[in-house]
Amino acid sequence: MRLGDSKMKISEKGVSLIKHFEGCELKSYRCAGNVITVGWGHTKTAEENQIITQEMADFLLLDDILVFEDDVQRLVNVDLTQDQYDALVCWTFNLGATNLYSSTLLKVLNSGTYDKVSEQILRWDKSGGKPLAGLTRRRRSEALLFDTGILDFGETYA
């Protein structure tokens, strides 16, 4: 489906992938990138020592996903399957639209070279210049979903 023709929505598979790798913390904390985070990886309005309810965490997740869906739809100009779309929204949820916009991943994807996208996804597994095992698993899961539609949270390639 071409993104400009119809507004795609993330599937439950994509939401599950985000939830699995973000985890849900009801008390704010600093993530590996030293960003204040709360709920399911929410950063936009997170504050030090903030405590939220599960209901608020779930609301913030859905609100954040809408933003990242819009970013993917705005920046990608080729057809995507649902699984490819889900993988890209998950990637963008974690890394942000600025990184998607400036990435070789986007250039490769928008050129229609779908078989090279997963190797670009896999490059983004570092924080502070160092690979993090959790990010490596996440990127492998996103790449696998993009290429095959298989949802695997990384336990098979830990």
Separation of alpha carbons 135 and 116, rounded Å: 19
Catalytic annotation present for 22:
yes
Q: Output the pLDDT for position 116.
A: 98
Q: What is the per-residue pLDDT across 136-151, written as a single tens digit (0 to 9) for each?
A: 999 999 999 999 999 9
Q: Is the model's pTM score more than 0.75?
A: yes
- 130-131 vs 126-127, strand pairing mode: antiparallel
Q: Are 127 and 33 in contact (CB under 8 A)?
A: yes
- Give the count of alpha carbons within 13 A of 131, CB side only: 8
Q: Which of 69, 59, 12 is nearest to 38 (CA)?
A: 59
Catalytic residue among 12, 22, 55, 155: 22
Q: Which of 34, 131, 118 is nearest to 84 (CA)?
A: 118
Q: Output the pLDDT for position 154.
A: 75
Q: Output the pLDDT for position 158.
A: 46
SS3 78: coil
Q: What is the per-residue pLDDT across 41-93, written as a single tens digit (0 to 9) for each?
A: 999 999 999 999 999 999 999 999 999 999 999 999 999 999 999 999 999 99
